């Protein structure tokens, strides 16, 4: 665990945000600090800034998303950008156009920032190589979802005052989760202790070398936890393929009051959404006093404003 | 089990406890359903108040047998066998614990059904019953069963009946998931595509009989695949019934590599071969099929050297409806609870196997693998005992079979060695 985290950087050093991997701790801290300011802006009556005035932001979502897409849209608009949403159902992708074709087509429209979500890991990196503008990864397959990890970190820091030396337990479908991967990298970079709990069928190979402690059961995993991050279990994985049934999953891995009692008394509960109440989390906990789930959504807008603003510094000015 | 059993002392015994490699003159003292002392140290200890003293006159006293592969017709096939009738057969054969197959109608793939078996056993059976639950829902080999909840309900292991899980990806996840619960995966190793319609061991005998045959490779390929997956997942694995020398070689290698793997064999494959099938006798039709004499001898050697861990009866009751058909159309399976020990003693009398080794494969080995407290004669262990005369001759008459189904391959067989008493939790359940 790195004890000394350097101070926040002044300038974000990259043209894109493709993942948490590759960011230095000071870059992460800079984004979090900027996001703090964005929280204040979002809470004002007048929420508009002009950093991105005249700029075009395209939200290119190959995978359906409600909260991430609207969060990026609001963030862009609050910074003055012209935001265009393009989702797979209304695009030419369904007609057989390749990712590269789509990138070239969009590039010809001179966007300044493209926000991309894609079901295939690595697709956002590929697209970033083919366009002239800045690219933000809004989730690529089971690889990374950097703005989710940033908003989680912001939420944690606002409540606990720090990230370093906190114990964060991530529970659930680690195998298929980009949220887990981004969080594991970020939390390690900022000096937190990360534990994971999941049925072995939902853990990726080599997990014990990914900077986490692997725990067998929820009691062991939640023991001493400051933060409990629950992950969503996709419906198609619930009935026999990776776990036998919803009732068995909830019995052993669903977060309820009894299991949460193993964590610290002031432990806080997070979930990237959308939740399956009664599958991975008891409604009583999801909607209870220890839950930060609503607040995560608010921090999502702030973090995305911070990222857009940071990338704006790299946009050509003439 | 309402009133406590009266204390019992077995004197003048040849006490064999394979768990501690003991074969010595001694006694066994039983009180409150558990063993107080067994072996030479139990001689002249005096009897508890009110004890029944049974002079066994030199007979062997050993842990009651644990049969890890019993198919019962309950629920769904009670006309073939009930838990009660199977337990009577077990008691007659010195078997004090039946580990039952989930292949019933319905399949035991729900915690409520495990509970049903345990309650029916408690109410109707005279020996202990530990159910195995289905490894996959409906034994279809596609969706994993609720291993956690089934284990909590009382399932001791997870099996897929006589069906192999052919999809390697699914088998991998089953082994992986089971590991979280320290659950044992028990598997029937037969590649159904390669076995095809085969009903006999592939070779000259099957060819002359004009019957479709299954090559040994159907077993070996599945076995080797499973062992690779056990290495990948570090899961706990038990091959239920092996029958080929190459399977034992793969198993020996896997054990040598430190994998948590074991295997079992049916008593039929240790004592019979494909020649015994004779004129299309369907009581000798089983899965895997009876193999050649060379394979049988190799199996006996592997049992002697410890590569094979467990002997089961593979008791599988079938009636006239399912057996009285042309060979290829008849059901697989043979009963075996009542003849398990006597048939096994043939290997001892032939000099191929020590009595202790034979008994280990029917007592402490399955007990260890399944985490059962029985299977040994230790102070405090359940007083499940078999008393037998290893030399007493007898002939198996069909009319004396306790099992509701009579499909034994040993009808009219001459045996040396007979069970005299079977004791479960300190009570005599047979004769």
For residue A255, what is the DSSP state? B
- Within 10 A of B54 (CB to CB), how many other CB atoms are there? 21
Mean pLDDT across chain A: 92
Q: What is the pLDDT of residue A1?
A: 43
Q: How far is B153 from chain A (nearest CA, A)?
A: 13
B158 touches A: beta carbon within 8 Å: no
Q: What is the pLDDT of residue A4?
A: 64
Q: Hey, what are A110's tokens?
A: 């001179």
Confidence tier at A91 by pLDDT (50, 70, 90) = low
- B318-355 pLDDT, tens digit each: 998 899 999 999 999 999 999 999 999 999 999 999 99
Mean pLDDT across chain B: 96
Q: Which 3 state secondary structure label does DSSP give B37?
A: strand
- A151-196 pLDDT, tens digit each: 999 999 999 999 999 999 999 999 999 999 999 999 999 999 999 9
Domain containing B339 equals 64-370
- Within 10 A of B169 (CB to CB), how many other CB atoms are there? 10
- B151-194 pLDDT, tens digit each: 999 999 999 999 999 999 999 999 999 999 999 999 999 999 99
Q: What is the pLDDT of residue B4?
A: 65
- Residue B378 counted as domain residue: no
A274 annotated binding-site participant: yes
Domain containing A133 equals 16-144+299-313
The stretch A9-36 carries a mean pLDDT of 94
Residues of A near B (Cβ–Cβ under 8 Å) read 199-201, 216, 239-245, 247-248, 251-252
Q: What is the pLDDT of residue B95?
A: 98
The stretch A114-124 carries a mean pLDDT of 94
In chain A, which residue's Cα lies nearest the Cα of B151?
A: A248
Co-location of A246 and A167 in the same domain = yes
Confidence tier at A96 by pLDDT (50, 70, 90) = low
Co-location of B273 and B405 in the same domain = no
CA A209-A213-A216 angle, to 5 degrees, is: 115
Confidence tier at B45 by pLDDT (50, 70, 90) = confident
Residue with tokens 């789930």: A293
B142 touches A: beta carbon within 8 Å: yes
- A120-153 pLDDT, tens digit each: 999 999 999 989 999 999 999 999 999 999 999 9
Co-location of B301 and B404 in the same domain = no
- Residue B364: which CATH number? 3.20.20.140
- Residue B377 counted as domain residue: no
d(CA B290, CA B292): 7
Co-location of B33 and B155 in the same domain = no
Total of domains in chain A: 2
Evaluate if residue B36 carries a pLDDT over 90. Answer: yes
Evaluate if residue B418 carries a pLDDT over 60. Answer: yes
- B68-118 pLDDT, tens digit each: 999 999 999 999 999 999 999 999 999 999 999 999 999 999 999 999 999
Total of domains in chain B: 2
**pLDDT greater at residue A89 or residue B235:** B235
Q: Hey, what are B366's tokens?
A: 């399955």
- Residue A111 counted as domain residue: yes
Q: What is the pLDDT of residue A10?
A: 82
Co-location of A59 and A104 in the same domain = yes
* B146 vs A216, A241, A248: nearest CB: A248
Q: Of B394, B383, B386, which is closest to residue B5 (Cα–Cα)?
A: B383
Evaluate if residue B33 carries a pLDDT over 50. Answer: yes
The secondary structure element, H or E, covering residue A126 is helix A123-130
- Residue A11 counted as domain residue: no
A232 annotated binding-site participant: yes
The stretch B359-373 carries a mean pLDDT of 98
Confidence tier at A95 by pLDDT (50, 70, 90) = low
* A248 vs B148, B173, B233: nearest CB: B148
d(CA B315, CA B333): 7
Chain A residues in contact with B180 (beta carbon < 8 A): 199-200, 216
A26 annotated binding-site participant: no
Test mutation, B176, B178, B235, chain A, max A CBs within 10 A = B176
Q: What is the pLDDT of residue A89?
A: 60
């Amino acid at each position: 665990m790195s004890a000394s985290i350097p101070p926040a950087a002044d300038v974000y050093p990259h043209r894109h945000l493709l993942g948490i991997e590759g960011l230095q701790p000071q870059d992460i801290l800079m984004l979090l600090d900027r996001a703090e300011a964005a929280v204040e802006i979002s809470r004002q009556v007048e929420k508009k800034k002009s950093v991105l005035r005249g700029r075009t932001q395209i939200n290119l979502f190959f995978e359906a998303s409600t909260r991430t897409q609207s969060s990026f849209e609001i963030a862009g608009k609050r910074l003055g950008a012209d935001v265009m949403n393009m989702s797979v159902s209304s695009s030419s992708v369904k007609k057989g156009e390749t990712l590269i074709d789509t990138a070239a087509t969009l590039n010809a429209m001179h966007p300044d920032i493209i926000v991309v979500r894609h079901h295939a890991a690595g697709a956002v990196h590929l697209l970033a190589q083919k366009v002239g503008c800045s690219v933000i990864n809004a989730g690529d397959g089971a690889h990374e979802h950097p703005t989710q990890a940033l908003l989680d970190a912001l939420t944690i820091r606002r409540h606990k005052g720090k990230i370093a030396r906190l114990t964060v337990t991530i529970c659930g479908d680690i195998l298929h989760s980009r949220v887990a991967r981004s969080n594991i990298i970020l939390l390690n970079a900022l000096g937190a202790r990360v534990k994971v709990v999941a049925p072995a069928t939902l853990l990726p190979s080599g997990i014990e070398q990914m900077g986490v402690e692997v725990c067998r059961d929820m009691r062991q995993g939640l023991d001493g936890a400051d933060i409990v991050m629950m992950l969503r279990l996709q419906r198609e994985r619930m009935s026999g393929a990776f776990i036998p049934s919803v009732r068995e999953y909830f019995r052993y891995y669903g977060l309820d009051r009894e299991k949460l009692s193993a964590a610290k008394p002031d432990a806080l509960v997070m979930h990237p959404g959308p939740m399956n109440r009664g599958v991975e989390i008891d409604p009583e906990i999801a909607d209870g006093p220890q839950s930060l789930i609503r607040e995560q959504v608010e921090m999502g807008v702030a973090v995305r404003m911070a990222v857009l603003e940071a990338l704006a510094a790299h946009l050509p000015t003439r | 089990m309402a009133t406590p059993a009266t204390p019992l002392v077995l004197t003048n015994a040849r006490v064999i406890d394979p768990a501690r490699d003991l074969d010595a003159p001694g006694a066994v003292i039983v009180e409150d359903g558990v063993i107080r002392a067994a072996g030479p140290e139990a001689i002249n200890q005096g009897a508890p108040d009110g004890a029944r003293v049974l002079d066994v006159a030199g007979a062997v006293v050993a842990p009651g047998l644990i049969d890890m592969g019993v198919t019962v017709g309950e629920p769904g096939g009670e006309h073939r066998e009930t838990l009660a009738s199977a337990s009577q057969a077990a008691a007659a054969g010195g078997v004090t614990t039946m580990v039952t197959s989930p292949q019933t109608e319905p399949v035991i793939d729900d915690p409520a059904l495990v509970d049903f078996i345990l309650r029916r056993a408690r109410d109707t059976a005279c020996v202990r019953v530990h159910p195995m639950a289905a490894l996959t829902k409906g034994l279809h080999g596609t969706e994993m069963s609720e291993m956690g909840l089934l284990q909590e309900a009382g399932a001791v292991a997870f099996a897929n009946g006589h069906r192999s899980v052919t999809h390697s990806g699914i088998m991998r996840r089953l082994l992986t998931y089971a590991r979280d619960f320290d659950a044992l995966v028990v598997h029937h190793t037969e590649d159904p595509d390669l076995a095809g319609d085969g009903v006999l061991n592939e070779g000259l005998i099957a060819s002359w009989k004009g019957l479709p045959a299954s090559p040994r490779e159907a077993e070996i390929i599945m076995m080797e695949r499973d062992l690779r997956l056990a290495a990948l997942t570090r899961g706990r694995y038990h091959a239920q019934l092996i029958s080929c020398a190459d399977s034992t070689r793969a198993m020996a290698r896997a054990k040598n590599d430190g994998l948590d793997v074991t295997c079992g064999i049916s008593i039929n494959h240790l004592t019979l071969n494909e020649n015994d099938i004779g004129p299309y006798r369907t009581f000798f039709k089983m899965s895997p099929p009876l193999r050649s004499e060379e394979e049988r001898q190799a199996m006996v050697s592997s049992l002697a050297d410890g590569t094979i861990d467990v002997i089961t009866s593979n008791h599988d009751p079938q009636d006239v409806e399912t057996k009285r058909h042309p060979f290829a159309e008849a059901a697989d399976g043979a009963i075996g609870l009542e003849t398990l020990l006597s048939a096994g003693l043939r290997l001892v009398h032939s000099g191929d196997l020590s009595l202790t080794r034979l008994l280990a494969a029917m007592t402490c080995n399955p007990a260890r693998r399944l985490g059962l407290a029985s299977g040994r004669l230790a102070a405090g262990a359940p007083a499940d005992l078999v008393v037998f005369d290893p030399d007493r001759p007898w002939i198996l008459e069909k009319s004396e079979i306790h099992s509701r189904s009579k499909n034994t391959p040993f009808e009219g067989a001459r045996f040396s060695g007979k069970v005299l008493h079977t004791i479960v939790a300190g009570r005599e359940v047979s004769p």
